[in-house]
């Protein structure tokens, strides 16, 4: 077996199940799960109709590069969304959701043949695929803590010179999971300058970019354009899972540096990750339509408007820059205990922030926080917020 498999840690939701396994929640209260970022809004009919209307495509092998029509739809969407130019022939590559693409991209980029282990830099807290991808590629993760004092942005100045010299890849996530923080143009400029100096690739995870509050978050390719740069050493990842409420479709695309994507395409050809033709047809329909995205965004805004204020009365929390998460500091700072007792008293599940981060530089930056995913219907989110507010008031009194 690959010895690097032994380096992998249990996934956060596996750890959460173990954490709550011995807790008996009240059966007279409706269970509300706000722990996992799985969209629950209905998948648009235009997407499902396109999927079922093209089932004859199951009779043929799809190309890993995808159809011209799909790459063109992805390119057109990126042009409308970010006001950028992309060559659909070589700067766009369809993928089976951003999760598998983020993982496999690392395998194609990292060169572990040198005397020293290469470094992959990750924000902390982070989407756990970043760590697993780095470890299985033979790289060493280096975590850059994202704290409230820095508006949950990575402090690149805290990275030692010796680490930068070994760095081959830097992950960024904007809007961030779990904090919802969005990188500014100045943030991007600082990172681009470091990439120019040390030669590392930037993998920009932007799968939450369509869940915002009226100000579309700046993207990596967009930032490069605004700064007069090309896409050298830069690739962005996006997906239909959150944008179009289609997590089960497993569809997204990557875009950016044509030379990186050419090697990534070769890797994927051997990896066997072509998207089925019915899925491609559904994806084209989704990328070509904005009306369902506007409606989806409005539904999330309504939930944030309804729950943020009551929760802010008892928790240190505010509406994020974007995404569908609330990143809330809990009273007393014990996120694990808070999560267990909330489940025990209210039958509400949230995710302890410490499970989404690693101890780094003497601190776990997720400790003391919970991630609340506002994916349930509005009425459930309002009910959960009211129950959480009542519980937290009692919890604070009992623990102060």
For residue 399, the model assigns a pLDDT of 83
Residues ≥6 apart with Cβ < 8 Å to 103: 129, 132, 133, 136
The secondary structure of 270-306 as a DSSP string is: HHT-PPPHHHHHHHHHHHT--HHHHHHHHHHHHHHHH
Q: Strand order of the sheet with strand 325-329?
A: 325-329, 369-373, 351-352
Quick: pLDDT tens for 302-360.
999 999 999 999 999 999 999 999 999 999 999 999 999 999 999 999 999 999 999 99
Quick: pLDDT tens for 215-237.
999 999 999 999 999 999 999 99
Quick: pLDDT tens for 207-216.
999 999 999 9
For residue 104, the model assigns a pLDDT of 97
Quick: pLDDT tens for 134-145.
999 999 999 999
Quick: pLDDT tens for 18-56.
999 999 999 999 999 999 999 999 999 999 999 999 999
Q: What's the rounded mean pLDDT across residues 165-175?
A: 98
For residue 256, the model assigns a pLDDT of 98
Residues ≥6 apart with Cβ < 8 Å to 3: none
Q: What's the rounded mean pLDDT across residues 235-263?
A: 98
Nearest CA-CA partner of 394 in 345, 336, 326: 345
> Is 80 exceeded by the pLDDT of residue 400?
no
Reported as a pLDDT band with limits 50, 70 and 90, residue 57 is very high
269: left (phi over 0), alpha (psi -120 to 50) or beta: alpha
Q: What does pLDDT average to over the chain? A: 97
Q: What's the rounded mean pLDDT across residues 174-195?
A: 98
**In percent, how much of the chain has pLDDT > 70?**
100
Strand partners, 204: 172, 236
Model's pTM, two decimal places? 0.97
For residue 141, the model assigns a pLDDT of 98
CB atoms inside a 10 Å sphere around CB 367: 18
CB 154, CB 173: distance < 8 Å: no
For residue 398, the model assigns a pLDDT of 86
Report the distance separating Cα 300 and Cα 208, nearest Å. 12
Strand partners, 143: 122
More confident residue, 397 or 195: 195
Q: What's the rounded mean pLDDT across residues 277-300?
A: 98
Q: What's the rounded mean pLDDT across residues 246-275?
A: 97
């Amino acid at each position: 077996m690959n010895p690097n498999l032994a380096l992998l840690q249990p996934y956060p939701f596996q750890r959460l199940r173990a954490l709550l396994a011995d807790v008996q929640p009240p059966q007279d209260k409706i269970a509300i799960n706000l722990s996992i970022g799985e969209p629950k809004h209905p998948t648009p009919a235009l997407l499902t109709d396109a999927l079922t209307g093209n089932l004859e495509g199951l009779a043929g092998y799809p190309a890993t590069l995808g159809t011209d029509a799909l790459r063109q739809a992805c390119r057109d969407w990126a042009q409308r969304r970010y006001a950028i130019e992309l060559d659909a022939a070589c700067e766009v590559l369809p993928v089976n959701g951003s999760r598998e693409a983020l993982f496999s991209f690392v395998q194609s980029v990292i060169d572990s043949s040198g005397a020293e282990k290469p470094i992959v830099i990750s924000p902390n807290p982070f989407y756990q695929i970043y760590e697993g991808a780095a470890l299985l590629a033979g790289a060493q993760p280096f975590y850059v803590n994202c704290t409230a004092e820095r508006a949950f942005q990575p402090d690149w100045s805290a990275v030692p010179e010796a680490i930068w010299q070994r760095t081959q890849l830097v992950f960024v996530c904007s809007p961030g999971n779990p904090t919802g923080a969005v990188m500014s143009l100045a943030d991007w400029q600082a990172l681009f300058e470091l990439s120019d100096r040390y030669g590392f690739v930037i993998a920009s995870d932007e799968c939450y970019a369509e869940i915002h509050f009226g100000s579309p978050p700046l993207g990596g390719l967009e930032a490069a354009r605004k700064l007069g740069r090309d896409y050298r050493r830069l690739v962005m990842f996006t997906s239909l899972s959150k944008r179009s409420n289609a997590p089960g479709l497993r569809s997204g695309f990557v875009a950016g540096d044509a030379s990186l994507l050419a090697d990534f395409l070769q890797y994927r050809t051997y990896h066997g990750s072509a998207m089925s033709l019915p899925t491609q047809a559904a994806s084209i329909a989704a990328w070509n339509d904005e009306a369902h995205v506007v409606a989806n965004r409005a539904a999330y805004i309504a939930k944030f408007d309804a729950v943020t204020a009551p929760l802010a009365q008892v928790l240190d929390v505010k509406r994020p820059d974007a995404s569908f998460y609330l990143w809330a500091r809990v009273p007393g700072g014990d996120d694990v205990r808070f999560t267990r007792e909330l489940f025990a008293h209210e039958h509400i599940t949230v995710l302890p922030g410490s499970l989404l981060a690693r101890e780094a530089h003497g601190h776990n930056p997720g400790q003391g926080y919970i991630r609340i995913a506002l994916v349930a219907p509005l009425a459930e989110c309002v009910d959960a917020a009211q129950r959480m507010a009542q519980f937290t008031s009692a919890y604070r009194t009992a623990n102060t």
